[in-house]
Amino acid sequence: MAPQPEGVRAYLEDAAGYAAEAAAACTRCMLCVAGCVSYRSLRDPRFSPPERLRLALRVLRGEVRDWRRALPLYACSMCRACTVLCPFRIEVWRVVHAARVRLAVEGRGPPSLAALAECVERGGHSFTDDPEQPRRLLLEAARKAGVGVDEPADYLYVPSAFETTPMYVGKLVNVLRALRRAGVSVTVSPRALDLGGNAAVDAARPDVGVKQFQRAVEVAEEVGARRLLTAVCGADLKAAMFGEEYFGLKREASRLTHVYQVLRGRVRCDGCRLHASCFVSRFTGLRPPLEAPWTRDRPPYTLCCGGGGGVNFAREPEIAELRRRIYAWRARALPPGRVVTACIKCYVSMSTGLLYAGRRDVRLELVTDVLASG
C-alpha cells in the first residue's frame, strides 16, 4: 500500500476489520433496499447496500484498485438509511467511505474529486483554489444581512461552499438574516470559507478536510468567537465524527454548532411539507424550527436527496449519468406544492433533480429562506 497521511492507516484498518465482520453478518435479506435511493432509482443489484458492502470490502483488501471498477461506491450518498432498516444495523456508508478513502489516498479515485480536495488544501474552498470570488461574495452577503466581519461574537458562521457561489449566495444572505432576526450574536470571516466536510466525506480525504476544520477553529479563536456555527450539511457533521475518532479533532468537534441549534422557537409554514435530510433524520434526530408536516416519507426512514457522498460533485461522465438518473427519480417522488428542506446540499440536489424530471409543480425552499422572509 502507498504511504498514507496521518490517521488514515488506523481509519482504514478499523474499517477493513468492521467490513469483514459486517459482510459475514449480512444475510442478504434485502430489508435495507427500501431506503436506498440509489438502488431504487438505478434498479441494479450492484447498487444495493449488501453488494456495496462486499465491493467496499474488496477495495479495502486491495482486490479492486480502480474507481471505474468500484462505480457503485460513487453512487452511494452515505445517507445511512440502509443502516436503520438493517436488523444488524450494518453501517454500510462508513465502509463505503473507507473504501473510497483508500482509493483517494492512493491516487486511484475519480480525478474530479481529487481536484476538489486540492482546492480545499490550496484555497480553503471546495470549488476553487483562488478564493477571491467566494471571499467577495461572503463580504457582500454579510453587508446585506448586517452581520459583522472578523468581529468578536458568540458564533463564527462558516458557510457551506455552495453559499459562496454566485448561484446560491442568496441562501447565505437568508441564513445570516434568519440568525440576526433570532438575535444570535454571529460573525463571519473571509478566512473561514469552508469547514472541510466536502473534502473529508465527498472527496474521501478526511486528512485534508480535518485540517480545514482545524483552520476554521483557529480563525474562530483569533476573532474571539466562542464556537463554530455551520450550515446544515451532513458532510461537515460526518467530518467532525471522523476527525474526533481518528484525526485528533476532539476539542474542536465539541465546539461545532449548526444553525438549527441556535434558531429556537417554531414558525408555522402553512401549505409546506418538510423534507428531512440525513442530517436531520438519522445523524442528529433534530427537528428544524418550522412547524409543517413531513413529506410522505418520515424520519428516520426518509429517502435521501441522493446528493451526498460526492455523487453531486463528481464530473466523470460515468458518475454524472448515475447522478442524473438518481436525481430525476428522487425529484419524481416529491409531492407537488411547497417543499422545504433543512439542508443546502439537499436543496441543490433536489432542485437539479426537479429540472431533470421536468417538475414545475414543486416549489423548493430552505428552512432559512422561510425564516428570513417570515
Is residue 36 a contact partner of residue 273, using CB atoms and an 8 Å limit?
no
80 or 108, CB closer to ligand SF4?
Answer: 80
Residue 309 Cβ vs ligand SF4, minimum distance, rounded to whole Å: 7
Residues of the shown chain interacting with ligand SF4 in the complex, contacts defined by CB under 6 A: 26-32, 35-39, 49-50, 52, 76-82, 85-86, 88, 90, 92-93, 304
Contacts of residue 27, Cβ cutoff 8 Å, sequence gap at least 6? none
363 phi/psi in degrees, rounded to 5: -110, 110
Residue 26 Cβ vs ligand SF4, minimum distance, rounded to whole Å: 3
Is residue 352 a contact partner of residue 316, using CB atoms and an 8 Å limit?
no
Q: Which residue matches cell numbers 417543499?
A: 339
Contacts of residue 293, Cβ cutoff 8 Å, sequence gap at least 6? 273, 274
DSSP code for 302? P
39 or 67, CB closer to ligand SF4?
Answer: 39
47 or 347, CB closer to ligand SF4?
Answer: 47
Residue 103 Cβ vs ligand SF4, minimum distance, rounded to whole Å: 16
Residue 340 Cβ vs ligand SF4, minimum distance, rounded to whole Å: 22
Q: Residue 362, Cβ neighbours under 10 Å: how many?
A: 18
86 or 103, CB closer to ligand SF4?
Answer: 86
* Pairwise CA distance, residues 78 & 94, whole Å: 7
Residue 58 Cβ vs ligand SF4, minimum distance, rounded to whole Å: 16
38 or 368, CB closer to ligand SF4?
Answer: 38
85 or 225, CB closer to ligand SF4?
Answer: 85
E strand or H helix at 101: helix 92-105
Residue 202 Cβ vs ligand SF4, minimum distance, rounded to whole Å: 13
Select from 32, 3, 8, 338 the least CA-distant residue to 200: 8
